[in-house]
Structure 1
């Protein structure tokens, strides 16, 4: 498997053509391991300046300038991805991870992207939302030959407008995207001061159907997914979004699942400022606390972080904030299971009846689980079980963060008298 370190020599596979030989030189190391708790990566010494994004649980791709071209290298390959502590999936991705590294460019950049295929089948890359020559669009059989296993193809195009985009295969698409092959592509304005924000987060919404004890997704699943992910991670494995009070914050999201997602932020209203079609003019932007993220689409939202606290940020489809769900499970609310439980315990030691009063006890009971799976509801906060999973994270707004220090600040310390409490009549 390609790691970030040995990626710098992976260009040795490229053939004799002069343009392909240019990829033999060492690509720069990824600037940082990614995540909301760190600063964005420092800019390389060449290329147009921009304000980098922060990829949740990810990183931005390195590049080099070569005779006016900004060159990147993607390696399509099998990868392993920890969905959350306690569960690792065997997936496909790019450069050792799913999603692949975020590609960042600037309006007017001439991009040259080498794609090496280390899968067992052919692939392509489609640059979703980018306007480019038809032959660079990445639809196998229609606009280009498929990239065979072991071969490297090169894509060359100029990015003409800033915005929020993504990349994914258009070859055996059902399988390859179901296995995790996707990545983010951000094009920044030519003027770094235009649309400037203090924190610019990005993540892709994806989903897997992985049975308890297994590690490879069922790629033929159409609706009954059990791992609802942001950047191939589920709660509590998704990075928190740490921001300083007063920061202007942008969150860019793309949806490559089989359904829409109403993404909801607590504590704030925000404006919808972008789609994969481009930036929304100021006169047409609209306020929301929940934005619907359609299938195959991108959305960018913005707000000013004026209210300190730990604010939940999640999909509002309740079954998308749960892990390892079962299907066709009967509702047992109000059912006396005591007699049946005694009989079952004599046959299956350790058997536990659940659901008579609801399912909240799932988050507190230390039940033995099958190998390589996660509890349906999990996570612990300052007041006990959070009872979430899947597409859930926390926007942590804080006073007093040193400029440039966006490490996770821990849980919020509420001022006295500002926490809901039991009423005792006084």
Structure 2
């Protein structure tokens, strides 16, 4: 029997995304649902071509998962970042030569309070790095000297904690790079080890700073000269090399948002905007292999996952090896801060829309789902 002394649970985790994202209200959503069911059922007897266009209807991309897409579109210009552009928007900073001949690579990162739109009509009061969630995807080369000029333009103490190797003085914890509003700190350390890493704020309470958006991808490319036994593979990961140019590389950060601050997420995504890659599928040239730098920063859920439809991939856990740690798999799980590199090819596939998503069904239904639009290079 229910305990009358406890408030009833609000089934808002789905209601928020399905029923409460747009001012159009339930009637528009119900109409969209009816159309999806009719299209999926050949016995329904409805001629879809004669139905009037609905200005509130979501893009009909692939009709996947019963066409469970959000109603309307997020204004990426207002957000100041676009999930599609984020896939390939690597921040490389500025470089100069040090007296010892090494490269000094400098990044500039600001903590900024900013409201962002995470699903159509649904806004979230984020804490950001450089005004975007996730923060800029920092990318460097193994062995370089890194300098990160961090300025806190926000309203709370913040830091940058890098998952890499560095001194205690550069750890981004209290007394080692945690700064108050209006302050500046310079982190400096060598780029090692190579791999797929991340950075995030390490201020307390940590779970609040994480789920508010203070995280980003941090990739260190291997130096082929340091890995002669796997120089070709290392070169394929080195941004700007001829070998790397053959690859289609993408940065994906799996994240989620607790919009009513009840300790549970209502919207899930890769690169922040729910169902962004359903509304705008990712174009894939089937003649070139695909490499995804994947990191999970989801708060409040113990794990997240990535599942690829109709294909398999090799996986490099943490990206610190040049040989796969898993071969020929179609699903991997990551706890928070876990990351890795996925490599796969559609060379032997027919053209078409191929889905990818979390394999926790609730995450998929609440936004963490997308499509690869696989095409021949000539198309």
Give the TM-score, by structure 2 length. Answer: 0.67
Match of 2:90 among 60, 68, 73: 60
Matches within 5 A, 1:195-274: 195=237, 196=244, 198-211=247-260, 218=261, 221=263, 224-236=264-276, 240-257=281-298, 258-272=301-315, 274=316
Matches within 5 A, 1:274-353: 274-276=316-318, 278-279=320-321, 281-282=323-324, 284-306=325-347, 307=349, 308-323=351-366
- Match of 2:91, SS state, is coil
- Residue 27 of structure 1 corresponds to none
Match of 1:95 among 120, 130, 134: 130
Match of 1:171 among 198, 203, 210: 203
**How far off is 1:33 after superposition?**
6.4
**How far off is 1:155 after superposition?**
0.3
Paired residues of 2:146 and 2:189 also in contact (CA < 8 A): yes
- Residue 180 of structure 1 corresponds to 213
**How far off is 1:152 after superposition?**
0.7
Residues 104 and 401 (structure 1 numbering): CA distance in 2 closer, same or farther, change over 3 Å? farther
- Residue 105 of structure 1 corresponds to 140
RMSD of aligned alpha carbons? 2.3
Distance 1:174 1:262 in 2: 20
Paired residues of 1:33 and 1:59 also in contact (CA < 8 A): no
Paired residues of 1:34 and 1:60 also in contact (CA < 8 A): no
- Match of 1:113, SS state, is strand
**How far off is 1:313 after superposition?**
0.4
Residues 401 and 81 (structure 1 numbering): CA distance in 2 closer, same or farther, change over 3 Å? farther
**How far off is 1:63 after superposition?**
1.5
Paired residues of 2:291 and 2:343 also in contact (CA < 8 A): yes
Distance 2:90 2:82 in 1: 7
**How far off is 1:297 after superposition?**
0.2
Give the TM-score, by structure 1 length. Answer: 0.60
- Residue 170 of structure 2 corresponds to 136
Paired residues of 1:124 and 1:169 also in contact (CA < 8 A): yes
- Match of 2:272, SS state, is coil
Higher helix share: 2
Distance 1:167 1:294 in 2: 15
Matches within 5 A, 1:76-91: 76-91=111-126
- Residue 397 of structure 1 corresponds to 374
**How far off is 1:245 after superposition?**
1.1
Unaligned runs of 5+ in 2: 1-79, 99-103, 225-233, 238-243
- Residue 52 of structure 2 corresponds to none
Q: Which runs of 4+ in 1 moved over 6 A?
A: none
- Residue 158 of structure 1 corresponds to 190
